Structure 1
């Protein structure tokens, strides 16, 4: 490592938690607002109207999913999984959750249901854990036991994946989860603010990972012949991928935080290298420039990048009928931008078409079975909002 690059690494490590949306800097209570507050929309091509309604509040929520009965599963970073009934407002604590390493950007993360959840009851959780060498993200699956209506619990817990290696620091875990139409589990793995692992095939940091539902490497992965963790990898050269969703054609899209500038929305291609930290449309926090993508055509460039940044936290691709102008468009939650950014994935080039000024940091998004959109804010007293047609 060069002296110049080492200096950049040190400066970035000191500054990145605040700049990239760490929860450490959010001590202020979220402002009280009307249950029917209307978010402001900054229109750049689409003018879908909507209204927001506050439904409940949670402590540092990170992700949400919907059960078959309409209730919501909500994770809280300090290590709690809640079942919330939007009709009755009942909140239940789920027992049996694994111990998490809470701090910095770490804690309990994503939650998704197995595609055959109705039959097998498996749910998947990502979280930060401690171990030899420091911390890293891990993924477990467990069966959600609802046999005692007011005492839900996780049983048959299995750890199926972990970031390799564990490293110091508490940033850039990534650890978003998604299942594709073939039942394969995809994991976004951040480079943990360590730069070089994103290009190291002996590490699964800074990668998009594709697995079977039991955590084993899926057949057809592009680097399977290398064995080890390389057999898990679908693409590399990622920084802090925090939103992941499939479009109607089964194409995976990933949104990730850039450094100082250069947040990215990437169309994920098998075996592609997205270039970080060799290239980026942003610069190091030390002020040291990073060559732009257009200087190195061998690396896959983003479909769209943002400077100033939006600080993406999450993403869905909307498929419902409640918001016609958003159909098949990406909705990206934003932290420092306090927004939801709407992106037309079919336009050439891909472009932002609407930005919703939510006036609070947005942590997670979910489209429910009825086509409504649920939003969780970021912070210690974060609102759960329901977006519906105006």
Structure 2
């Protein structure tokens, strides 16, 4: 869950670009206004308590954007392997950021022999927002992965302060079922990178102790609901994009079960069900290429309270899903010129909804 802070953000509205554009939704007419533009393959963003923003670009830039729009290229970012889908990915601020100034980043880290793996790093943001200091790698995938596919990745702070990191299977499908590999897993670590003693595979012979769940293909969205449950959104192949409610030690099936098919049209694995493997809370067929996800907890749109919002990279809309128990149902598609390839989406402190559109490299604000 991205940190939400009690600050006034109304002055941001319409800061960049032309007059806001209106669109009809289930909540009535909403406006879309550009806040930050000219971004190069933006991946994630976070709100700072002083009204500023941090924005990642996949090639390795971390931008500090002040409340008046001034941009600073933040120094101290760890070395990035910008290859294919890999690069500088997610950014999350912990709940104690105002005191600790800690920033968490996920990224593709260069590894031996030209390989790269998803990694988690932390650093302290300088008071003026210009530098990350005391940067340290808290976790990285086991080396041995090449190519530019399926890094994931999101980092989410759990209610107990531990960190969940989502990772794709790096195009090596069978490894998503291998507990001796990090590919296709969600891991859970402490803020110092150590392994929590209550992780489900601690002490199991041959299993990596960081693993929290397995059988994931390429999870690029993750968020906590109001009950503190972790939900993850992941890419299928040709069909079979999934929303999953993550349970401790759960096996989510890839590549043994799936609601999609290989891009060749061939069947995947053994079908859609297998004993001991979790079913998705929702799936899309055809694929929408889902990315950033958040649970709406603002006040501007009370009719959307508790709903899950997911960006679509393929069909250029924001999916709104209603949650009931452990199931999710898509109840609305919010689509406009601005929702072209939505990569990240967050609730702003004033209750508006902000999202990164990759197609035009712009951070937008959706508001009443």
Fold shared per TM-score above 0.5:
yes
List aligned pairs for 1:303-318, cutoff 5 A. 303-318=281-296
**Higher-RCO chain (CA-CA 8 Å, sequence separation at least 6):** 1
**Among residues 309, 331, 345, which one is paired with 1:331 in the alignment?**
309
- Per the alignment, residue 136 of structure 1 pairs with 117
Q: Does 1:346 align with 2:327?
A: no
Q: Deviation of residue 226 (structure 1)?
A: 2.2
Distance 2:48 2:226 in 1: 22
Q: What is the aligned-residue RMSD (CA, Å)?
A: 1.9
2:355 equivalent in structure 1: 375
Q: Is residue 113–residue 123 contact of structure 1 (8 Å, CA) maintained in 2? A: yes
User: Which position in structure 1 is the counterpart of 2:50?
Assistant: 69
Q: 2:63 aligns with which of 76, 79, 82?
A: 82
Q: 1:189 deviation in Å? A: 0.9
1:180 matched to 2:149 = no
Q: Please, which runs of 5 or more residues in structure 2 have no aligned partner? A: 1-15
Q: What's the counterpart of residue 385 of structure 1? A: 364
Paired residue total: 349
For residues 292 and 281 of structure 1, the distance between their equivalents in structure 2, rounded to whole angstroms, comes to 11
TM-score (norm 1): 0.85
1:37 maps to: 21
TM-score (norm 2): 0.90
Structure 1 residue aligned with 2:213: 235
Structure 2 counterparts to residues 184-195 of structure 1, below 5 A: 184-195=162-173
**Structure that is richer in helix per residue:** 1
Say if 2:78 is the partner of 1:98.
yes
Distance 1:227 1:212, change over 3 A: farther
* Distance change (3 Å), C-alpha of 1:114 and 1:47: closer
Alignment of 1:218-367 (within 5 A): 218-226=196-204, 230-291=208-269, 294-346=272-324, 349-359=327-337, 360-367=340-347
Report the Cα distance in structure 2 between the residues aligned to 1:291 and 1:36, rounded to whole angstroms: 47
1:150-185 residue CA offsets vs partner (Å, 9 max, x unmatched): x61111110111112331110110021010111111
Contact 2:22/2:29, CA 8 A, preserved across alignment: no
CA distance in 2, matches of 1:101, 1:40: 41
